[in-house]
Structure formats: structure tokens, C-alpha cells
């Protein structure tokens, strides 16, 4: 079951908070939204106290008027459930609903997401408000769908209230049945951590020196994800029961949450909040940083959840809180560029955040398309331009699919375990960065694959090549799946630190890379981190290139005659030993690299894998992203210029520019931040 958004054309919209503004402004606001060609208005998600000013007293007047007025202007409304920000009366009366730090200090009213998912009180009060709202709005002709809460796990992804500890205990009982099983899974015999009674079991707590049991920690993150989904499920069930004709989703992609599972189990499709401008303030000292273009990878992950998806918050100005995240203004053209970035990757609905910059609160610098002054500005003009373009091309593109023949593989288990484990987590980040840069700069469209228990061979066979950099946790079943994939013709590559842990995060008593050894035909004979202050070793790649062997070096031992050594260490005490091997296996081939990937290596390997980089159609500078959506045999090629400088491209055949209707061929110049959408 693929949960994708179904729209007949690309649609735009905007987030709007009627409760923030004088009611006199509403009509003009809606009129201008309509003029901008917007279809959707999203509202309601931070308004619990307006809906329920005191416990058990409900009031819909304000939003009734706001929705009615939107309806008058032909706008469709997406209504949010307001549980992300409990009312002051609620947390004051029921402090047990508050989230608590690992040290036991309670968060308090004053910002957002200060509640915990497992409080029965909070679940009860949430159910009541959601039920009241859906019953009230289920038949409203303007309302098309629901957003549950807002950005689950944003800014806060750990929870240690009493309710959480209690729920975790029950979760652990359900998972392990006996304490003996739990003790085995968490390896509690180490450092005498053995539990002899269930009431000794808690979420991780303050330890000396802040280093809890890693297997316990991994389960804690699984529990947080399950808690989040359970919390959302209560609302999803209520909404579906009462409003079966309105769709249900939630927005944002945050940590400690299996968004795939949540979407599959609860939602109609996934909605993402896209703020590429963060990429221009987050420090990135890596080689050739992607900056805002990194969001293309985020969108690839979103696509792995919902092939066609919605953007519920598309950056529409400089962002920032009063106290942090201070962003520059998007340059002229960037709002348009980022909108096309979303669409190129599969968005069929894009809602700008927000209509007008707030004049109060923590987000007065999280700019909307309109400024405080509400006068015409360049951002509104740019959105108007995009909207007119989308009206031209939106019908063609809606429903089409992103085209990729390579996928970068990961799993929630490895991401959550690696977050804590300094012996492979940081390598996973580095290698991911190297690969997504290599994809971008070499114009190789790529997908993300989250390996799940349900993952089938057919889902993998869509790809010529799979790249799974450092899967520390890798089960026997997963190894079998990859063998099958390669046997049937696929290519797969693994990096160092692969296959040495089971699902508990404990290590196998096996030579590395564990169950993968059968497929890749090597074991790891010796290994070392590259020490700080040491010379970084190097690798001779096919006798042609000398590459850095940064961070970690595994010395490989061939277990089979059919393994071909294509990279050897060219210095250090392991000079001449294998670093990178290839093995033909069935109809395909496997690769194993005893290191952490960097951009140069990844770019060479993309060539080795013979992936399509569309050189028969284009000559493109690195600054341009190439993305293709296709539908019924027609391809829509998006060329996006992320650079502040014009870029020359060579187009080797004739394409139609569907934004202008012109034919594009031979030399063409993309202006700074400009976009081409070509049909062929």
C-alpha cells in the first residue's frame, strides 16, 4: 500500500492564522490569496484555547467565521488539531501531562511541544477536543482534510515524564515478555545491570557519565517512535470515524519517529515542511557544501514515504526565532527555485508558510510572503509568478513519478543506534553526505530506501544499484534479501563497519561483515580508526587514482577466488592490502569498501556503476541539479540553478520548455536561481 497524494494538478496554498489578526483583515487576505491562484488555506493547529477556553467549554465561532469567509472565496481549508500547544489551563491543572528532562526537570508552558505522548490525561483531553472539532467540521464543504498536531517531535524528541517511564515498562513487557529476555537483549550482565523486577525498568536516566546502556537506548528510541505513532493514531481514528471523506495527514519529518510506519498505518499521504534556507546558516565545513540543495535529499526521503506528497510549509521568506536560526532573506528567485525543488522531487501540493509575518511571539522573524506592513513586496510578486507558471504546467506534472536507478539505503535501526554510537554513526553521516553530493554534482537522480521488515525484493529490484554505506545492524534475513537482489542482477556496495550488530545492537561473534561475508566474499582481517595527528592513509584505486582513506581503515581478507581487488592501501602498515573489492555474484555484483566514503570516491564509483547521468542529453555544470518526473512515457526534466551566477548548459537534443513553450537546444544560459522544465 503506497500512501501517495492524489491531485489532478499541482496546487498551491498558504498557512494562515485568522486568530492572529484583526477580523477586518480577513476578507482582503482571502481575496488576495485567491488572486494569487491559491487553492488551499491551512489553519487551526495552535488554537486549542480558542476552541476550548476552559475545560469542557467549547467555542467554534471564530473559526466558523474564518472558514466561512475562506469558503466564500472558493478556498479549501485544511484544519489542524491543536494538540501541539496545550492551553495554559490544561498544563496548570494537570502538570502530569508535561514532558520532563532525563534529569527529572519539568518543561513548562511558554513555548510548544512541552507535553508527553503517554499521559492518559493528555490523551483523554486530546481525544475530546479532536472529537469536538471533527464533529463540528466533518460536513463543512470548505474543509478537505485534517492535519494531526503539528510537526511531531520537532524541537523535542525525548520524553521522560512518569507517564513515559510507565508506558515504556509496559512496552518492554509486551516486547520481551520475560525479564530474562529483556536482560539478554540489553546485555545487562555487563556492568551488573541485570533487572530482577519489572519495576526496576525505566527509560534511560542520569548515569555516570552520561553513557546509558546502548541496547536500552536503542529500544528507547523505538519506544518514542511507537509512542508518537500511538498518540497520532488516537486522533487519526477519531478523524476517520467521523469524517471518512476528509483526508488525514500530519506535517514535518523529525527524529525518533518512523514516518514510513506512521504514514502507512495512519495517514493518507505524507506532508513535509521544507526550509532550504536553513542550509545557508547551518555551518557546513565539508568539501563543496550543498547548502539549500541538501533539501533535495530531504525531499528524496519524503518521496520514499509518499511518492507524491504535499509540502505543508514551503519557505517563503527569511526564517528565524527571536533567539536563534537567524537566516538571510531568500535572494530574488530563490523562493521560486525552492518551490520547483519541491515539485521536481514529487510534491503535488505546495503551501507557503505563512501568509503574513507574525507581529508577536517567538516567530516574528519567521517571515511570511507578506510583511508586517501588508504592503506589496517582492516575495508576493515572486509567488505570483510561480503560481502563474504552475497553472500552465501543473496538470501535466501532477501524478508523475520521480525517476531514479540508484538508491541510497538506510534503516531507522541504524540511524537511531548510530546516533549514539560514535564508532559508526558519524561515518554514516559523512558517507551519506558524500553520496548525495556525488549524485547532485554528477547529475545522477537518486532515491532513498529505508530498509524495513516489510521490504520486498521487488521494491529493491527497481534499482540498478543500491548503496548501503555502514549498516552496522544487519540481520540474516536482510543479508539474504541482498543476496537475492544481486543474484537477480543488482549491484550493491557496502562500506566499513557493516554487518557486525544484531537488532539489539549487540555484536555478532562473527568475523566482519557478519552475514554479508557470504555475499561480498571478504572478511575484515584488521581495522583501525585513523587517529587524530596521524597521516591519513591512501588507497590506490584501479591503479589510476590515489584516494584518501580517511576516518577508518578495514584491511580485507579474501574468502573466495572470485573476488576482485580494485582498491589497495598504498601506505601505512597495511600497504598493499585490499581496501575495496568487487565480486560478481549471480547476475549482479557486490562491492565492499573497507572505509568511509568521500566525494571523490563516490564520484568514481558512480562511473564504475555505469549509472545514467544524462550526458547524451546535456552538458551541465555542477551547480545545476537535474531531476526527472515521468508519466505515461513523457519525461519532465527539471534543471535547477542553485548558484548566484548564470550557468551555461549544452542541450544535445530538442526539448520543449513548458514554462514558455519555446524549444530549447544547443547552448542555453540559466540565470541565477533560475529553473528550466523541459518536456520530451
Rounded least distance, CB 84 to its own copies, Å: 8
CA gap 341, 627 in Å, rounded: 9
Which region, judged by CB under 8 A, interacts with its own copies, from 73-81, 354-362, 393-401, 616-624?
Answer: 354-362
Shortest CB 114 distance to its own copies, Å = 5
- Smaller CB distance to its own copies: residue 1 or 57? 57
Q: Does 26 bind its own copies (CB under 8 A)?
A: no
- Please pick, from the candidates 264, 401, 528, 657, the single residue that binds its own copies as defined by CB under 8 A: 528
CA distance to 4, 261, 270, 299, 540, per residue, from 264 (Å): 10, 5, 9, 18, 45
Residue closer to its own copies (CB basis): 279 or 307: 279
Report if residue 532 touches its own copies, rule: CB under 8 A.
Answer: yes
Phi-psi region of 489 (alpha: psi -120 to 50; beta: other; left: phi over 0): left
Taking CB under 8 A as the rule, does residue 181 contact its own copies? no
Number of residues that bind its own copies (CB under 8 A): 114
C-alpha cell at 302: 519524503
CA distance 217 to 441: 37
Q: Is the Cβ–Cβ distance between 617 and 652 less than 8 Å?
A: yes
Give the Å distances, CA to CA, from 243 to 38, 46, 634: 24, 21, 37
Does residue 451 come out as left (phi exceeding 0), alpha (psi in the -120 to 50 range) or beta?
Answer: beta
CB of 49 or CB of 264, closer to its own copies: 49
CB of 32 to its own copies, least distance (A): 15
Among positions 364-393, residues that touch its own copies (CB under 8 A) are: 364-365, 371-375, 377-378
Q: Pairing relation of β-strands 465-468 and 491-494?
A: parallel
Residues 248 and 267: beta-carbon distance below 8 Å = yes
The only residue of 187, 469, 537, 588 in contact with its own copies, by rule CB under 8 A: 187
Residue found by looking up cell 572478511 in the block? 523
Concerning whether 151 is annotated as a catalytic residue, the answer is: yes
HEC secondary structure over 145-189: EEECCCCCCCCCCCCCCHHHHHHHHHHHHHHHCCHHHHHHHHCCC
Q: CB-based contacts of 437: which residues, under 8 Å, 6+ apart?
A: 287, 288, 290, 599, 602
56 binds its own copies (CB under 8 A): no
Min dist. Cβ of residue 133 to its own copies (A): 14
Contact between 576 and its own copies by CB under 8 A: the answer reads no
Shortest Cβ 216–its own copies spacing (Å): 7
Check residue 584 for interaction with its own copies (CB under 8 A).
no
Contact with its own copies (CB under 8 A): which of 37, 95, 212, 621? 212
135 near its own copies (CB under 8 A):
no
Q: Which of residues 1, 141, 174, 197 is near its own copies by CB under 8 A?
A: 197
Tell which residue, 8, 18, 9, 13, has the closest CA to residue 34.
Answer: 13
Residue list 264-303, contact with its own copies (CB under 8 A): 280-281, 283, 289, 291
Q: Of 296-335, which residues contact its own copies (CB under 8 A)?
A: 318, 320-324, 326-329, 331-332
Complex with its own copies: residue 74 or 376, whichever CB lies closer: 376
Binding mask 77-96 for its own copies (x = CB under 8 A): -----x--xxxxx--x----
The answer to whether 115 and 173 have CB atoms below 8 angstroms apart is: no
Catalytic residue of the set 7, 45, 220, 313: 313
Q: Which of 213/387 has CB closer to its own copies?
A: 213
Range in contact with its own copies (rule: CB under 8 A) among 116-124, 193-201, 242-250, 577-585: 193-201
Of 303, 249, 220, residue with least CA distance to 2: 303
Work out whether 506 is an interface residue with its own copies (CB under 8 A): yes
CB of 373 to its own copies, least distance (A): 4
Cell (9 digits) for 100: 520532563
Query: How far is residue 204's CA from residue 220's CA, in Å, rounded to a whole number?
Result: 7
- The correct pick among 74, 104, 489, 646 for binding its own copies (CB under 8 A) is 104
The interface region with its own copies, picked from 297-305, 385-393, 446-454, 529-537 by CB under 8 A, is 529-537
> Is the Cβ of residue 107 or residue 146 nearer to its own copies in the bound state?
107
User: Is residue 48 part of the contact set for its own copies (CB under 8 A)?
Assistant: yes
Coil, helix or strand for 301? helix
Q: Which among 34-42, 358-366, 460-468, 577-585 is the span making contact with its own copies, rule CB under 8 A?
A: 358-366
CA 614-618-624 angle, 5° bins: 90
- Tell me: does residue 19 bind its own copies (CB under 8 A): yes
Of 279 and 588, nearer to its own copies (C-beta) is: 279
- Write down how long the chain is: 680
Q: In the range 114-133, which residues lie near its own copies by CB under 8 A?
A: 114
96 is catalytic: no
Interface pick for its own copies out of 56, 61, 174, 359 (rule CB under 8 A): 359
Candidates 41-49, 159-167, 401-409, 462-470: pick the segment binding its own copies (CB under 8 A). 41-49
Indicate the SS3 state at residue 435. helix
Please identify which residue in 128, 358, 604, 659 interacts with its own copies, judged by CB under 8 A.
358
**Residue from 120, 155, 177, 619 in contact with its own copies (CB under 8 A):** 155
Of 7, 45, 52, 151, which one is the catalytic site residue? 151
156 binds its own copies (CB under 8 A): yes
Task: Pick one of 61, 360, 561, 632: the residue that binds its own copies (CB under 8 A).
Answer: 360
Regarding 613 and contact with its own copies (CB under 8 A), the answer is: no
Give the one residue of 54, 72, 180, 287 binding its own copies; rule: CB under 8 A.
54
Kindly list the distances between the CA atom of residue 335 and the CA atoms of 97, 302, 315, 508, in Å, as whole numbers in the listed order. 39, 20, 7, 49
From the list 132-140, 201-209, 306-314, 657-665, the region that binds its own copies by CB under 8 A is 201-209
Binder to its own copies among 29, 273, 421, 433 (CB under 8 A)?
Answer: 421
Residue 363 binding its own copies, by CB under 8 A: yes
Place of cell 526534466: 637
Interacting residue with its own copies among 56, 174, 245, 509 (CB under 8 A): 509
- Rounded to the nearest angstrom, the gap between the alpha carbon of residue 470 and the centroid of all alpha carbons in its chain is 19
The gap between the terminal CA atoms of the chain, to the nearest Å, is 30
Pick one of 63, 107, 275, 494: the residue that binds its own copies (CB under 8 A).
107
| Residues ≥6 apart with Cβ < 8 Å to 333 | 382, 671, 672, 673, 674
Q: DSSP string spanning 389-432?
A: HHHHHHHHHTT-EE--SEEEEE-HHHHHHHHH-TTTHHHHHHHH
Burial class of 136 by CB neighbour count within 10 A (0 to 12, 13 to 18, 19+): middle
Question: Alpha-carbon torsion 198, 200, 206, 208, what sign?
Answer: negative
Residue 485 Cα to chain centre, angstroms: 25
Q: C-beta of 106: minimal distance to its own copies in Å?
A: 7
* Catalytically annotated residues: 151, 313
Amino acid at each position: 500500500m503506497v500512501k501517495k497524494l492524489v491531485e489532478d494538478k499541482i496546487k498551491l496554498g498558504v498557512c494562515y492564522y485568522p486568530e492572529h489578526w484583526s477580523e477586518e483583515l480577513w476578507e482582503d487576505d482571502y481575496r488576495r490569496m485567491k488572486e494569487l491562484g491559491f487553492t488551499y488555506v491551512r489553519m487551526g493547529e495552535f488554537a486549542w484555547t480558542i476552541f476550548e477556553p476552559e475545560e469542557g467549554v467549547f467555542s467554534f465561532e471564530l473559526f466558523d467565521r474564518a472558514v466561512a469567509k475562506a469558503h466564500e472565496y472558493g478556498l479549501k481549508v485544511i484544519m489542524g488539531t491543536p494538540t501541539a500547544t496545550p492551553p495554559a489551563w490544561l498544563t496548570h491543572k494537570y502538570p502530569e501531562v508535561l514532558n520532563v528532562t532525563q534529569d527529572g526537570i519539568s518543561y513548562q508552558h511558554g513555548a510548544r511541544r512541552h507535553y508527553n505522548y503517554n499521559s492518559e490525561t493528555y490523551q483523554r483531553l486530546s481525544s475530546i477536543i479532536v472529537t469536538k472539532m471533527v464533529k463540528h467540521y466533518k460536513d463543512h464543504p470548505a474543509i478537505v482534510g485534517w492535519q494531526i498536531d503539528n510537526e511531531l517531535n520537532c524541537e523535542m524528541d525525548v520524553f521522560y515524564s512518569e507517564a513515559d517511564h510507565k508506558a515504556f515498562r509496559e512496552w518492554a513487557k509486551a516486547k520481551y515478555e520475560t525479564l530474562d529476555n529483556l536482560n539478554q537483549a540489553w546485555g545487562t550482565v555487563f556492568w551488573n545491570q541485570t533487572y530482577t523486577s519489572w519495576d526496576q525498568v525505566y527509560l534511560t536516566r542520569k548515569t555516570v557519565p552520561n553513557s546509558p546502556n546502548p541496547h536500552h537506548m536503542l529500544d528507547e528510541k523505538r519506544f518514542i517512535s511507537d509512542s508518537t505513532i500511538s498518540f497520532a493514531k488516537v486522533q487519526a481514528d477519531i478523524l476517520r470515524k467521523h469524517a471518512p471523506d476528509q483526508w488525514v495527514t500530519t506535517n514535518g519529518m523529525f527524529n525518533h519517529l518512523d514516518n514510513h510506519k506512521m504514514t502507512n498505518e495512519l495517514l493518507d499521504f505524507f506532508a513535509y515542511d521544507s526550509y532550504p534556507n536553513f542550509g545557508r546558516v547551518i555551518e557546513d565545513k565539508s568539501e563543496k557544501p550543498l547548502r539549500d540543495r541538501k533539501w533535495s535529499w530531504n525531499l528524496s526521503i519524503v518521496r520514499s514515504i509518499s511518492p507524491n506528497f504535499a509540502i505543508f510549509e514551503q519557505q517563503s521568506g527569511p526564517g528565524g526565532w527571536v533567539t536563534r536560526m537567524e537566516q538571510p532573506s531568500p535572494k530574488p528567485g530563490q523562493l521560486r527555485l525552492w518551490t520547483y525543488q519541491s515539485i521536481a522531487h514529487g510534491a503535488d501540493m505546495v503551501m507557503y508558510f505563512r501568509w503574513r509575518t507574525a507581529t508577536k511571539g517567538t516567530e516574528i522573524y519567521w517571515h511570511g510572503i507578506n510583511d508586517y506592513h501588508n504592503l506589496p513586496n517582492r516575495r508576493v510578486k515572486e509567488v505570483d509568478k510561480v503560481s502563474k507558471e504552475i497553472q500552465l504546467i501543473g496538470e501535466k506534472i501532477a501524478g508523475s513519478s520521480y525517476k531514479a536507478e540508484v538508491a541510497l539505503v538506510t534503516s531507522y535501526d541504524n540511524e537511531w543506534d548510530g546516533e549514539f554510537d560514535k564508532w559508526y554513526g558519524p561515518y554514516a553521516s559523512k558517507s551519506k553526505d558524500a553520496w548525495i553530493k556525488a549524485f547532485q554534482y554528477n547529475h545522477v537522480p537518486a532515491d532513498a530506501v529505508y530498509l524495513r521488515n516489510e521490504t520486498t525484493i521487488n521494491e529493491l529490484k527497481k534499482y540498478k544499484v543500491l548503496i548501503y554505506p555502514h549498516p552496522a545492524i544487519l540481520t540474516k534475513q536482510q543479508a539474504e534479501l541482498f543476496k537475492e537482489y544481486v543474484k537477480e542482477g543488482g549491484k550493491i556496495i557496502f562500506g566499513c563497519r557493516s554487518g557486525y550488530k544484531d537488532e539489539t545492537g549487540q555484536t555478532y561473534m562473527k568475523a566482519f561483515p557478519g552475514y554479508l561475508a557470504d555475499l561480498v566474499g571478504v572478511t575484515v582481517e584488521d581495522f583501525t580508526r585513523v587517529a587524530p595527528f596521524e597521516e591519513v592513509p591512501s588507497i590506490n584505486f584501479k591503479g589510476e587514482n590515489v584516494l584518501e582513506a580517511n576516518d577508518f581503515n578495514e584491511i580485507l581478507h579474501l574468502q573466495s577466488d572470485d573476488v576482485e581487488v580494485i582498491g589497495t592501501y598504498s601506505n601505512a602498515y597495511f600497504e598493499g592490502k585490499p581496501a575495496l573489492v568487487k565480486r560478481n555474484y549471480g547476475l549482479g555484483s557486490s562491492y565492499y569498501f573497507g572505509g568511509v566514503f568521500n566525494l571523490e570516491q563516490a564520484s568514481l564509483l558512480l562511473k564504475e556503476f555505469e549509472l545514467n547521468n544524462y550526458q547524451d542529453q546535456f552538458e551541465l555544470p555542477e551547480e545545476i541539479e537535474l531531476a526527472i518526473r515521468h508519466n505515461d512515457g513523457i519525461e519532465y526534466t527539471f534543471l535547477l540553478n542553485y548558484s548566484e551566477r548564470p550557468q551555461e548548459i549544452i542541450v544535445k537534443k530538442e526539448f520543449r520548455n513548458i514554462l514558455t513553450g519555446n524549444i530549447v537546444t544547443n547552448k542555453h544560459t540559466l540565470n541565477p536561481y533560475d529553473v528550466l522544465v523541459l518536456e520530451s
